Structure 1
Amino acid sequence: MDTQTIRWRPGAVELDLDLGVDGPPKVQRLAAVGGGRSAAPSAAIPIAEVHLGGEGSGTSSSERLMGSAVGLRLRTVDHRTWTDGDMAHLEVTARDAMSGILVIARWSSWRDLPVVRCATEVVAGDEPVHLRAVSSVALGGISADGSHWWHDHEVGFAHNTWFRELMWQRRTPAELGLDDTGLRTWGIPSSRASFALGQRGSWSTGGHLPMGILRSRVERRSLLWQIEHNGAWRWELGDQDDALYVVASGPTDQNAAWSRRLGPGERFSSVPATLVLGGDDDEIFGALTDARRRVRRPHVDHENLPVIVNDFMNALMGDPNAENLPPYIDAAARAGAEVYCIDSGWYTDGAAWWNDLGSWQPSSRRFPRGLDQMTRRIRDAGMVAGLWLEPEAVSVASPIAELLPAEAFFQRDGQRVVESGRLQLDFRHPAALAHIDAAVERLIIELGLGYLKFDYNMDVTQGTDLDADSPGDGAFGHQRALLEWVHSLMDRHPGLVIESCASGGQRMDGATLRVHPVQSTSDNQDPLLTAAIAAAAPTAVTPEQGAVWAYPEPSWSDERIVFSLASALLGRVHLAGRIDRLSGAQMRLVQEAIDAYRTTRTRIRTALPFWPLGLPGWHDPVVALGMRDDDGELITVWRRAGSTTVRVPLARHSGRPLVVEAVFPTSLPTSVRWDADAGEIVLELPEEPAARTLRLRGKS
């Protein structure tokens, strides 16, 4: 077969691409510079997998994304490379002669990061086509050359369910159903098996994170992939030609009832995906953290990291009023908060915040002298005033449900979609967007708001088929319109911070994080469980964006209060709990934590995460999270059970003299030392669950 190989060397990665004169173009090799070889080039797969209506796959495995008939028929038309600022780009255009479509695959990379951003664009030819799936990235031969790929690798993926977010798992391919089936004996290139994860509703991370990792057990090499979409997605791992492949995409017909009709000359762009090459977890998540910081919308909040108080969690719980808010606002100011967000319930005259969404008018029963009296009090106390909303939701009993046209809501088969007693606004419709935009503008101006918390407490798996080629495509359009609207709000109000929340961390995806400065990570109400979530949070979100609840209770011991407060000190502080009822001594612990945070946050915004005990397990007795920069390390250690002597290995410093000291708390006893010979921090903690945030630096 005639071939032409493009060797793309943007800086930190090496990509070899076979343009395949008599076959489809394929990535033969992708590696970090100096990172060794991929599997044999024969295991490469086409640069894109595109499924069209009216045809199946090009193999007999129609449930897989890999092996599309279009992918096999692609032939290279052109390729080009260019640079744009600090990024290098490679683009390959290929044509499918049968359908007439052009497929444009793009790869982009920074000179100094082993990270590649990928996307695919489809352009219809002279005839219309019906898209059923378009890959964001398709990469074969990702397992180590010559390995027993079914045993010599581990697949990493993260469960992300409500109250139990960010829990990473490791399995061999064989444990996931991908194994050596003996088919090579018969010359059959694939077992036809695959392991796939995905999400089909509007909670983009409601179940799993849109990420995966393949790690070699025989070489120091890992590949991480991340799909960046605030809706449905799918990734798939399988075997082809005695090696593993990965194909990742946004919504598909199979997993999210998505299809898109393209008329002649029309275009469709896939959701982006990011690939990271490296060794261990610290390396790949460090590089991903750098990349996330580079692609997101710039915001002053990323630099200042103000302390946020929110009165919901383990506190007012959606029942604010003119009597209970003032003491809570005053307590927040005493604690040292810089932002105060009034959470749900401020708009309802009833007892349940859940059932009165949509009008977004302050309740006169709860606030007979106006809600602006409360926001003035917040500002007078030196804090930025904030407010909770659920902008996409309208309760079925709300007058807005009848005032807006039926077309302003998600519909299926001519009926409005009802989920959890709510209707879903469709931001593609001008009436829906005009309603929520006017409501938010009114609140910002009348109440003097500088912070908004956008929550989303339902998972609409039905999509909408109104003015759409498919239910999944209607949802896809809404999801893109949602983020465009959030962009426009912050364009109009420079400095406005809009937090993303979806029952905690059920929309913790790359597309959302490119727009929102702050991201909620969980709704978990137990500090012992929250510790594992806080320790794993930087796998999904940059530390300076990841908000973690700290909710001290007056009935708790000092150590339990410290345990909860410590969970937020290497991320974003979401202070809650009954801070209005704390004793003077308990409030001083809170103030101490906030003072400590002010000394560390200037480092958090640029530091890279690491996990000296590995990524946390849900029931691990001890979990730890570190932040590393040029000045040393910050480490939080949570002991939930087990020995009161905790040893935290830092092999990279073995044999070196270091100073280790407590950042928080300093008012409680902390026995800690550095064992240089063992390369370990040795920490003595009390019998009850306890946590400490430590600082390490070299001896001067």
Structure 2
Amino acid sequence: MGTFTWGNDALALTFETPDDGPAAVAGLRTTDLDVCFDHRMPLTEILATGTGHWLANDRLVHTDIGRSLRYVSHQESVNGSVHRLDVTLAEAALGLTVTVHYELPQGVPMFRTWVTVANTGDPADAASPVLGADDTIVLESVTSLVSAFGAPSGKSADCDAWRLLECENEWLGEGRWHATPTSDLFPRLAQQMTGHNPRGAHSVVNTGTWSTGRHTPLALLESKTLGLAWLFQIEHNAAWRWEVGRDSEDGYLALAGPTNVDHDWVKRLAPGESFDTVPASATIAPDFDGAIANVTAYRRAMRLAKADNARPRVIFNDYMNTINGDPTTDKLLPLVKGAAESGAEIFCIDAGWYDDTGDWWPSVGEWMPSKKRFPGGITEVIDAIRGAGMIAGLWLEPEVIGVKSPMAKSLPETAFFHRYGRRVVEQERYLLDLRDPAARKHLDDTVDRLVNDYGVGYFKFDYNVSPDTGTDLNADSAGDGLLGHNRAYSAWVEGLHQRHPELIIENCSSGGMRMDFAQTSRFQVQSTSDQQDFRLYPAIAAAAPMLMTPEQAGNWAYPNANDNPEEFVFNLNTTFLGRFFLSGYINRMSAEQRELIVRAVEAYKRHVQPVIGSSVPFWPLGLPGWNDTVLALGLKAGDRSFVTVWSRDGEGGDVTLALPQLRGKSVETETLLPVGDGFVEWPVSWNADDGTATVSVPNGGGYISRTFEFREA
């Protein structure tokens, strides 16, 4: 039996390496926690064809290979500000070498982990049914992270003392979080009388490439009784599975990318070949707020470093409730003028700019500007954008080729997804396979041309279809082809940033269908929804920082000339505590309405823009419910806290906001939005003893909203 500890001042893990069992994490320490894992779980669990579970079940855990892995060695290193640990394990009978990798950014108590499985080609049991005639091993699932729930040092583990916080997503209905006690998820079974662990689990699975299309690869476990909160995520932009379950001694969590049973994924490893799992990451904190602070810091530490991250520019996009994919020179030039006068810093021309047919959906892929829509050339509009002092942007959907696009015939067959010898098609689109050099060259040439020849400095990358299981062309399985494509796509995006370091890229996938960290770590802006009803959007906007940094959250504000003044401001408040993301027919608005937009942008630039890149989100009323009448989102920024409150056709009355970070302090309050006369002031009273602010929402219903700043006096 051996032990060793690895980490830094923010977080440290203690590993136990028995001679007669698998290596396991025995403890975790942060500056304010000392957690023990008396229920030992292997560092990884592996299913391969010819092996199974040592107890029959359909979980990711309790596998024969996971139990038979033995510790070999470990190595520590540091790369810049990131500490790394590689723990090498072996399964001698099969000739498997498994390396579990850990990364920990300096000063951030959240770690990343992934697993490398290698076939050494030197099995001790050459007759094992797991091995093919050529000593090939066929992987069916490999976990990236496994852990017991644990308990603080000196306390006993209690699987029933937790609640699971998870999210339901839907196109136009993103960010619907809900909590379930683990005692409701896992019934008491008296399994100790059988001598076996239970066999079920609460499993959450995503298929295809809309990684957040129905659920999210991020969830939390919180126990107020034990004073602990887990936050865990799978950092992958396609197929994944996570599960939580009950064992006899404690609960457990397990995270994985694609699996055979869920995603038609297998990976064949011939001797000398290896496979890397998708990354996963986790943090443990005393409570929910601590876990959110940790993951927010982790997101900033582990993303691509870009200048726009710290001071996010104000964006105008012509699509939502405005041009809707039908741009022309005559429609755009008045909007360019209005956006510039409003203080926008980026103007993005959305879908349709390339289409001469009047049907922009199936014609995507060649990315040549329309001559019908822009008789004087699209450069006339782009030059107007740049001449007004804004960065020019264009919409692209790079991963697809429309069935009516000329590129559908000119690119080779290997550039497209296939299954069973046929191209995969979804809603009149073929899907590009970025493992293929011709597909990558086509997209590289497209972006380089638009940047170099047209002066484009911003792209909105959209993604509106999903290919189900994937592609079996040049792959061990459809899931294997899909995983290869998604990794190639991420590498392609990184290459764009390297070639064009000033480029700003927005990630949009039918709104918020791909809000995983593999995406958000590579994009400066994240679209949160395609929701077009301003009355519904606050629930999406308020929940957005659960999956991204506040400065990335592109929540649409699309004020309309027909809105009454309060509805107009309600729209603007929806984007105010994120990346200011504006649309709407500014040229059709009254002078008073345009002035409201100007004042909102000025207030954002003065108060929020300088500090949002270091702020931490919080929820003064708890996470929003989809049908809540009153919702609130807050940002902590040093000695200031910003809070937006939306009232959706309610009865009014007093609303108590929790601001524990200001408890015991003298506080000054200012209304940031709306700015100017003609709006009813919402009275605010401060209670320093319990750190709460009571806001009096006017009676009378309607859709009304305010953003406040609370400052230490």
TM-score (structure 1 length as normaliser): 0.96
1:470-495 Cα offsets, whole Å, 9 max, x none, are 11111111111111111111211120
Displacement, 1:148?
Answer: 4.5
In the alignment, the residues of structure 1 paired with residue 331 and residue 5 of structure 2 have an alpha-carbon distance, to the nearest angstrom, of: 65
Instruction: Find out whether 1:671 has 2:669 as its counterpart.
Output: no
Counterpart Cα distance in 2 of 1:26 and 1:102 = 16
CA deviations on 1:199-233 (whole Å, 9 max, x unpaired) are 11011111111012111141221011011011111
- In the other structure, the counterpart of 1:46 is 42
SS in 1 for 2:374: coil
* Contact in 1 for aligned 2:348/2:394 (Cα 8 Å): yes
| Structure 1 vs Structure 2 CA RMSD | 1.7
Is 1:534 aligned with 2:509? no
> 1:47-69, CA deviations, whole angstroms, 9 ceiling, x for partnerless residues?
101111222222211x2110111
User: In structure 2, which of residues 142, 147, 151 is the aligned counterpart of residue 134 of structure 1?
Assistant: 142
The 1:55–1:159 alpha-carbon spacing in structure 2 relative to 1, beyond 3 Å, is same
1:569-584 matched pairs, under 5 angstroms? 569-584=576-591
Out of 478, 481, 506, the residue aligned to residue 488 of structure 2 is 481
Q: Summarize deviations over 1:115-134 as a string: whole Å, max 9, x none.
A: 12111111111133211111
1:78 corresponding residue in structure 2: 73
- CA deviation string 1:506-556 (max 9, x = no partner): 111111111111111111112221111111111100111111100000110
Q: Which of 326, 330, 338 is equivalent to 1:323?
A: 330
1:607 Cα offset (Å): 1.0
Judged with a 3 Å threshold, the aligned counterparts in structure 2 of structure 1 residues 281 and 32 are, in CA distance, closer, same or farther, namely same
Asked whether the equivalents of residues 417 and 462 of structure 1 are also in contact (C-alpha less than 8 Å), the reply is no
| Counterpart Cα distance in 2 of 1:162 and 1:487 | 27
**Which one of 679, 691, 696 corresponds to residue 705 of structure 2?**
691
Q: Identify the residue that residue 638 of structure 1 maps to in structure 2.
A: 646
The structure 1 residue matched to 2:51, chosen from 49, 55, 58, is 55
Q: How does 1:539-578 map to 2 (within 5 A)?
A: 539-578=546-585
Which residue of structure 1 aligns with residue 162 of structure 2? 153
Query: What is the CA distance between 1:655 and its match in structure 2?
Result: 4.2
Deviations 1:577-602 (A, max 9, x none): 22221111011111111001101111
CA-to-aligned-CA distance 1:281-326 (integer Å, 9 cap, x gap): 2211111010110111111111231110000001001111122111
Change (3 A) 1:228 1:87: same
Within the candidate set 11, 16, 33, 2:9 is matched to 11
Distance 1:565 1:58 in 2: 57
- Paired amino acid for 1:155: L
Question: CA separation of 1:379/1:111 partners in 2, compared to 1, >3 Å: closer, same or farther?
Answer: closer
Cα distance in structure 2, aligned partners of 1:251 and 1:485? 21
The answer to whether the Cα contact below 8 Å between 1:348 and 1:362 also exists between their aligned partners in 2 is: yes
Matched, 1:385 2:392: yes
User: 2-side partners of 1:649 and 1:392: how far apart?
Assistant: 44
How far 1:279 sits from its partner (Å)?
2.6
- Any conservation in 2 of the 1:17–1:25 contact (CA below 8 Å)? yes
How far is the alpha carbon of 1:141 from its aligned partner?
Answer: 4.2
SS for the counterpart of 1:602 is coil
Where does 1:188-587 land on structure 2 (aligned, <5 Å)?
188=196, 190-587=197-594
Which residue number corresponds to residue 665 of structure 2? 656
CA distance change for structure 1 residues 36 and 487 in 2, over 3 Å: closer, same or farther? Answer: closer
Whether the 8 Å contact between 2:27 and 2:34 is mirrored in structure 1 is: no
Answer yes or no: is the 8 Å Cα contact 2:326–2:351 preserved in 1. yes
Instruction: Select which of 94, 97, 104 maps to 1:102.
Output: 97
Contact 1:412 / 1:462 at 8 angstroms: preserved in 2? no
String of CA shifts for 1:72-126, please: whole Å, max 9, x gaps: 1101111233444433333321101222111111223245332121111111111
Contact 2:35 2:151 in 1 (8 A): no
Q: Distance in 2 between matches of 1:582 and 1:352?
A: 29
Contact 1:18 1:25 in 2 (8 A): yes
1:544 alignment partner, SS class: helix
Task: Confirm or deny: 8 A CA contact 2:313 2:346 kept in the other structure.
Answer: yes
Q: Separation in 2 of the partners of 1:578 and 1:357?
A: 26
Select 1:611's aligned residue among 616, 619, 623.
619
**Contact preservation (8 Å) 1:14, 1:33:** no
**2:175 maps to 1:163:** no
Q: Which region of structure 1 is more displaced relative to structure 2, 332-341 or 111-120? A: 111-120
Cα gap change, 1:82/1:404 in structure 2, threshold over 3 Å: closer, same or farther?
Answer: closer
Between 682-691 and 68-77, report the one with greater CA deviation: 682-691
Aligned 8 A contact 1:28 1:141 in 2: no
CA distance in 1, matches of 2:681, 2:396: 42
Is this contact kept in 1: 2:28–2:34, CA < 8 A? no
Check whether the contact 1:385–1:449 (CA below 8 A) recurs between aligned residues.
Answer: yes
Contact 1:130 1:260 in 2 (8 A): yes
- C-alpha contact (below 8 Å) 1:660/1:672 kept by paired residues: no
Give the aligned residue type for 1:610: F
Separation in 1, partners of 2:5, 2:454: 57
Shift of 1:169: 1.2
Which among 576, 592, 610 is matched to residue 602 of structure 1? 610
Measure, in 1, the Cα distance between the counterparts of 2:548 and 2:263: 25
- 1:638-666 Cα shifts (integer Å, max 9, x gaps): 12224243221224434432101111112
Q: For residues 91 and 491 of structure 1, do their structure 2 counterparts lie closer, same or farther at Cα, with a shift above 3 Å needed?
A: closer
Output one character per residue of 1:337-381: Cα deviation in whole Å (capped at 9) or x when no partner.
110000001111233321211111111111122111111111111
Determine which of 647, 658, 675 is the counterpart of 2:656: 647
Report the equivalent of 1:117.
Answer: 112
Q: Secondary structure at the match of 2:480?
A: helix
The one-letter code matched in structure 2 to 1:670 is E
Whole-Å separation in 1 of the counterparts to 2:661 and 2:310:
29
Taking a change above 3 Å as real, the CA distance of residues 130 and 613 of structure 1, as seen in their structure-2 partners, is same
- Look up the equivalent residue of 2:48 and give its one-letter code: L
Letter of the 1:634 counterpart: F
In 2, Cα distance between equivalents of 1:452 and 1:654 = 43
Question: In structure 1, what is the Cα distance between the partners aligned to 2:80 and 2:448?
Answer: 36
Aligned to 2:132: none
Q: Do the aligned partners of 1:661 and 1:672 also contact (CA within 8 Å) in 2?
A: no
Look up the equivalent residue of 2:6 and give its one-letter code: W
3-state SS of the aligned residue for 1:407? helix
Counting only pairs closer than 5 Å after superposition, residues 169-184 of structure 1 correspond to structure 2 as 169-176=178-185, 178-184=186-192
Contact 1:143–1:149 at 8 Å: present in 2 too?
no
| Alignment match, 2:129 | none
- Identical amino acids, percent of aligned pairs: 39
- Residue identity matched to 2:264: A
Task: Using the TM superposition, give the Cα deviation of residue 413 of structure 1 relative to its aligned residue in structure 2, in angstroms.
Answer: 0.6
Distance in 1 (alpha carbons) for counterparts of 2:612 and 2:234: 25
Deviates more, 1:460-469 or 1:679-688: 679-688
1:88 partnered with 2:83: yes
> Does structure 1 retain, via aligned residues, the 8 Å contact 2:684–2:696?
no
